[in-house]
Amino acid sequence: MIENRDRLATTDARDTALSCIEAGIEAGHPRRVIRDALSLEGDTLRIADAAYDLTRYDEVVVIGGGNAAAHVAAALEEVLENRIDRGVVVTDDPAETDRVTVNEGDHPVPSERAVEGTREVLAAADAADERTLVLAAITGGGSALMPAPAGDVSLEDLQATTNALLESGADIHEINAVRKHCSALKGGQLARRAAPATVVSLILSDVVGNDLSVIASGPMAPDESTFADALAVLERYEIEVPAAVSDRLEAGTAGEYPETPGPDDPAFETVSNHIVADGMTVLEAARDVAVERGYETLVLSSRIRGEARDAATMHVAVAEEMVATETPVSPPAVILSGGETTVTVIGDGEGGPNQEFATSAALELEDRITVAAVDTDGIDGATDAAGALVDATTVEDRETARAALATNDVYPYLDERDGLIVTGPSGTNLNDLRVLVVD
């Protein structure tokens, strides 16, 4: 899975950190989680505690989008085979399918080909009726991969707005409040388009707390955010957006556009949402590997958020406490955490939250501590690296490391030191995974 593993695994601690990462990502792959979550018994499809009699439906349709959407579609075909009649998903990580059309898009910034692919998703939803069972593959990355510009908002407007939001330091809830109100699909609007079909959403969550309205901007979930909330985000972070975006949000606040559908909307009467994998899926698999290798383990949280650099300082402090006092557990130990940190971009360099986490941690590390941090989708920021692996040998010149952080240019810094973890698209997206090995 890790393309440059041989160069990275130069110590036992590094090898353990990489093995934890590989196990975590593999545990969240759709081929595994769909197989565990779904079963077909005769004409009955079972998903968790719900059962669906397929004889009640004239057709079964798969729609959706996100980093892992094509792999979800392929896994569904393995379970249902010719029971699936048609479908279309949009992704940046294609997989081979027989009955579901896979359209490619781009992430984290939406593209024209994603807009075209999303039109097909909307058309498939519009064609569904009360005798249709819609299986919705909703995964992390769906916000960018299923763009559906609303009204006078253009793709270029969405791109500029997305870039500004990603660089602002806003969290995913705030970012999606804006994106929902510039879209014809997000914030429960895809459910409205699919009604009155029976909709079953299979969700791989990349959102802290598994808020259904935030994962992929909640295309099949009720939305309680408003146009006013979206405007408040722009004001809070002093974000400049194209006129078409600000005009739409202001007009919506004034009541000129309908709000996204809320919990009482009839569109959700035939919708059920199932989280089939999330950040804990990843952490539990990584923990099992550490235990098998003889380490004590500490799962800090699956909900770590905030500035990546600040989170790194806190994680290193916990590891230092273990070394100094054997509290809260005794070394050898592995500290694990998930969640999604952010970066407030000041410079114009290359990098991502996990690379900044690792670089910031490396500035503080003692000899006995090794740190790895990755985004489980294999793409950290807008780079080709999943994240980074560092230890006390990584930083020789602190001023150079600090300068890289100051200009948000840690990718080349880590690349020069063989610190980048490269996996390529992983087939899933379940938030970040951080591993600290304390020898």
Percent of the residues in the chain that have a pLDDT greater than 90, as a whole number? 95
pLDDT tens track for 139-153: 999 999 999 999 999
Nearest CA to 130 out of 195, 190, 44, 51 is that of: 195
Rounded Cα distance between 387 and 312, Å, is 13
**Position 107 confidence tier, pLDDT thresholds 50, 70, 90:** confident
Pairing of strands 44-47, 271-277: unpaired
Q: Give pLDDT, residue 208.
A: 87
3-state secondary structure of 66: coil
- Chain centroid to CA 359: 22
Residue 403: is its pLDDT beyond 90? yes
CA distance linking residue 426 with residue 408, whole number of Å: 25
* Cβ proximity of 163 and 108 under 8 Å: no
Q: Is the pLDDT of residue 167 over 90?
A: no
Q: Could you tell me the pLDDT band of residue 402, with boundaries at 50, 70 and 90? A: very high
How high is the pLDDT of residue 280?
97
pLDDT, residue 172, reads: 85
What residues have CB less than 8 Å from 314, skipping those under 6 apart?
Answer: none
Asked whether the predicted pLDDT for residue 418 surpasses 90, the reply is: yes
Let me know: does 357 contact 314? Beta carbons within 8 Å: no
What average pLDDT does range 78-88 have in this prediction? Answer: 97
Domains of the chain: 5-26+280-438 (3.40.1480.10), 29-277 (3.40.50.10180)
- Token digits of residue 4: 């440059």
> In whole angstroms, what is the distance from residue 306 CA to residue 304 CA?
7
| Alpha-carbon gap, residue 310 to 208, rounded angstroms | 17
CA distance 361 to 384: 21
* pLDDT tier at 70, thresholds 50, 70, 90: very high
290 three-state secondary structure = helix
Q: Does the pLDDT of residue 171 top 90, yes or no?
A: no
What does pTM read for this prediction? 0.89
pLDDT value at residue 261 = 97
Q: Residue 287 is encoded by which pair of tokens?
A: 């923990």
Three-class secondary structure of residue 77 per DSSP: helix
**Segment (H or E) for 329:** none
* pLDDT(128) > 90: yes
In sequence order, the 6+-apart residues with CB closer than 8 A to the CB of 413 are 359, 400, 401, 404, 419
Average confidence (pLDDT) over 250-260: 96
Residue 151 structure tokens: 């009204």
State phi, psi for 17 to the nearest 5 degrees. Answer: -60, -45
DSSP per-residue string spanning 395-425: -S-HHHHHHHHHTT-HHHHHHHTT-EE----
Coil vs helix vs strand at 301: strand
**Is a pLDDT exceeding 90 seen at residue 111?**
yes
- Which helix (H) or strand (E) segment holds residue 51: the answer is strand 50-53
pLDDT digits (tens, 9 = 90+) for 205-242: 998 889 999 999 999 999 999 999 999 999 999 999 99
Per-residue pLDDT, 109:
86
- Reported as a pLDDT band with limits 50, 70 and 90, residue 290 is very high
CA dist list (Å): 123 to 20, 63, 103, 119:
41, 10, 14, 6
pLDDT at 146: 97
Token reading at 42: 């005769």
Indicate the length of the chain as a whole number. 439
| Percent of the chain residues topping a pLDDT of 70 | 100
Gyration radius of the chain over CA positions: 22
Per-residue pLDDT of 363-397, as tens digits, reads 999 899 999 999 999 999 989 999 999 999 999 99
Q: Which of 300, 298, 380, 305 is nearest to 337 (CA)?
A: 300
State pLDDT tens for residues 308-356: 999 999 999 999 999 999 999 999 999 999 999 999 999 999 999 999 9
Name the packing angle between helices 279-292 and 12-27 (round to 10°): 140
Mean pLDDT (whole number) for 49-62: 96
Q: What is the enclosing helix (H) or strand (E) of 143?
A: helix 142-145
Confidence of residue 166 (pLDDT cuts 50, 70, 90): confident
